[in-house]
Amino acid sequence: MSEIDDFRQEIMDKVSKIPGLPRGYIDTLLRMLPYANERRRKKLVDKIKRLVETKFNEHSMRSKNPLLSFPSKEDAVGDGVIIGYVCSGDRVLHPFGLTTENLRENEFVVARSGHGKTTMVFNLVDQLIQHEICFLSFDWKQDYRTLAKKYDDVYVIRWHELAYNVLINCPEGMDIKLWWRIVLDIAAHSQGLLMATPAHILRVIEELYEHNKGQVTFRELENHLKSQHSESRKENEYSAIAENRIFNINQALDKVINVKYGFEIKDLFRKRIIIEMFPLDFSVASFLIQTIIMHEFYRRLYNQVRLNRKSTLDSEFKSKFCKIIMDEAHLTQYSGQERSLVSTELSLPPLATFFSQSREMMLGTFALTQFPHLVMDAFKDNAGTMIVGNIVETDQQRDLSSSLGLDRDSEKILGKLEKGTWIARVAGRTKPFVLKTPDIKKGDLLADADVLQRSRPLITALDMKRQEIESRMFMVQVEKKSEEVHLPDLTKEGWLLLDYVFFHEWSYQQQITEALGISDRKFAKVKQDLLDKNLIRIQKFPVKVHDRIHFSLTPNALEIMKILGRPAQRIGYWKWISGVPGYEHHYWLNVLRVKHKILGWNGRVEYDLKDGRRVDLYEELNGHRKAVEIELSTKDVENKVRVLTDREVDDLVLLYREESTFQFARSKLERMENIPKEKIWIGLIRDYVELLDNVIKGPEKSGNIEGTGSTVPDHEQNRKDNGNNGVIG
């Protein structure tokens, strides 16, 4: 290259980085250089330098941020989804937007913690909402729940509110056995199932599916594997490994995945939803997220929900496209899944297929991380837009600058970027340029109660649709089974009521009528029919102020559930609920266990102490032990107190249903000597539940009257006006 070419390249490089220069005029002068004589050429060079060098040096000296070439205003706007502002050094020039093509091709954002990744997501969400684009975000830190307060159509769902049977809830149009392979492939990569184990599990799932007439859950799968024993040592090894991994999933996701069907997954991609994953175990959370994403991917693939290349933001694009936002992307798409033995022996993770083909299915991923080396290569290779902020580690600076297209001399600028300043590159559209994201006030975090209130309409809508689907599934099952064996002659509503009570053992009458959408008049007829056929029993008792009507299932009803292939574990659970000491007793045990769990206690129902005595509820918190007894009589008060005198527990709670029984028991305790009365709380069940509710809602902590850390609620603050309840003595 000649000196003229070198000079021209140097000048054009500087011109591309400085706004406000007469680019056309400078280009004309540069073209004249090869044709000018030496004297004329020298004058042209001096003139060009005066135009460019002075401006460049002045601009460079004033800028803390690097000087890079930048896209023009016309090239920067895109279709209007603005992610930041183009900068020349410290000077903000004009907005930069992503086109519909860019949105589908994935965006990869990398920066150290605290650089502004969350703020970038807030900006993106604001733009997606303005342009009526749906998104599904996975939040690991509860950072995004404030968006639900800012925008009426943004919903926050906590992971445990989801309902999704991954084995039955199959993508529409896809063969269910093929879907099982995808689910097991995801489990293999996220949980470490090796070699022949997934194939072994697949055989077991098929057996259960046939035996249960089209119904199977992960809990049933675990129980079946636990009960299996083979003459083959290898078979037993496969079962043991599979049982261990599936136990891990069930332990965390029991109430999420062990349902009949669950939510329509496609509905999660048709709104603006944030799913909070905290504090779910990372590997289990990755399994759940991947099954949700792959479910929608295959639904779109099998139903031809694909790109219409003529679509724009104003037409088909808005109705079909969904942006998946993965903060802490290394947790969802951990690169170790690509390098594990599962991948080398079997196949790449299913997400690798998703990242390479999702653009055609109108799905795009916006992933953010501070650990780029822990993110899947499949995603990085298919990220059309790369945005990098401040990076301290030099090896990462070198790798990321190479990915951005920066030269070796420029790689150190990644360690000097100020908060909210980025180097961005859009493949096939721009060279690396400086991008600035405006700071957004995040606002105060929402409390769990506020999140629940705001998400309730969405959860209710999803639950209603779920109920419809599960009702249809159940009625199909009843019709098929009635062709084989004799079943009671019940109306559709009767069967649905029976099935609903079977899976919602603690629901009361009003909740059931609302869930099933049955009028009070019709419900009365259905209820009477089931009573006449000895399939249900009415359980009526006071909860809070008024009596509530609950229902328990009779042995006849449980036998019918067994014929219909309902889970044996749940049938056994119902036998325990209905057994001595009865439904009401077990109802209150469940209520107390749930409320103690919210307060951080670890507990067990009907627990045997070391000396063989059994307590209704045993709770522990930070080494402090509490026993709760629900009493229907006063005969055994002295024996109950022995758990305190023998130092089996630190606190004792005695609860009664009837006022008269409670008062009699209290008087007996007051006459007893040599017992730690300050460690005993005695009162009515409903009053103790109210105390727990007050502790949950308010700032008060559990403690005795002296505040020494006792686990009994503070009776002075919560005592009834008549002074009946509280600590003895």
In a domain, 400, yes or no: no
Asked if the model's pLDDT at residue 344 lies above 80, the reply is: no
Best mean pLDDT range from 472-481, 517-526, 538-547: 517-526
Least confident of 218-227, 334-343, 503-512: 334-343
Task: Specify the pLDDT at position 499.
Answer: 93
Average pLDDT along the chain: 87
Boundary residue ending a domain (13, 32, 62)? 62
In a domain, 673, yes or no: yes
Number of domains comprising the chain:
4
Based on the domain organization, do 227 and 343 belong to the same domain? yes
In a domain, 619, yes or no: yes
In a domain, 50, yes or no: yes
Query: What is the CATH number for 465?
Result: 1.10.10.10
* Residue (of 486, 481, 494) closest to 214 by Cα position: 481
Based on the domain organization, do 538 and 602 belong to the same domain? no
Based on the domain organization, do 177 and 307 belong to the same domain? yes
Based on the domain organization, do 556 and 469 belong to the same domain? yes
**Dist CA 163 CA 542 (whole Å):** 31
- For the stretch 542-594, pLDDT in tens is 887 789 999 999 999 999 999 988 888 889 999 999 998 999 999 999 999 99
| Tokens matching residue 374 | 């822990």
Per-residue burial over 302-324, b = 16 or more CB atoms within 10 Å of its CB, e = otherwise: eeebebeeebebeeebeebbbbb
Task: Specify the pLDDT at position 312.
Answer: 54
Based on the domain organization, do 251 and 333 belong to the same domain? yes
**Dist CA 654 CA 682 (whole Å):** 5
Read off the DSSP letter of residue 67: P
Based on the domain organization, do 255 and 136 belong to the same domain? yes
Residues 6+ apart with CB under 8 A from 515: 463, 467, 500, 504, 507
Boundary residue ending a domain (579, 597, 616)? 579
Give the three-class secondary structure for 557. helix
More confident residue, 194 or 621: 621
| Tokens matching residue 703 | 């403690």
Based on the domain organization, do 539 and 647 belong to the same domain? no
In a domain, 476, yes or no: yes
In a domain, 256, yes or no: yes
Asked if the model's pLDDT at residue 396 lies above 80, the reply is: yes
Task: Specify the pLDDT at position 7.
Answer: 82
Based on the domain organization, do 624 and 533 belong to the same domain? no
Asked if the model's pLDDT at residue 708 lies above 50, the reply is: no
More confident residue, 175 or 720: 175
Give the three-class secondary structure for 78. coil
Boundary residue ending a domain (38, 62, 86)? 62
Beta carbons within 10 angstroms of residue 544's beta carbon? 11
Q: Which long-range contacts (CB under 8 A, 24 or more apart) does 694-702 make?
A: 694/718, 695/599, 696/595, 696/598, 696/599, 697/449, 702/599, 702/621
Give yes or no for a contact between 684 and 662, defined as CB atoms under 8 angstroms apart. yes
Task: Specify the pLDDT at position 527.
Answer: 96
Based on the domain organization, do 594 and 563 belong to the same domain? no
In a domain, 174, yes or no: yes
Domain of residue 272 covers: 119-367
Give the three-class secondary structure for 553. strand
Helices (H), 564-606: 568-578, 583-598
Asked if the model's pLDDT at residue 62 lies above 70, the reply is: yes
Q: At what angle do helices 555-563 and 568-578 cross, to 10 degrees?
A: 180
Task: Specify the pLDDT at position 196.
Answer: 54
DSSP letters along 309-322, please? TT--TTTHHHHH-E
Task: Specify the pLDDT at position 635.
Answer: 67
Based on the domain organization, do 508 and 359 belong to the same domain? no
Query: What is the CATH number for 631?
Result: 3.40.1350
Asked if the model's pLDDT at residue 613 lies above 50, the reply is: yes
Give percent of the chain above pLDDT 70.
92
In a domain, 344, yes or no: yes
Average of pLDDT values for 94-123?
93
**Dist CA 729 CA 724 (whole Å):** 12
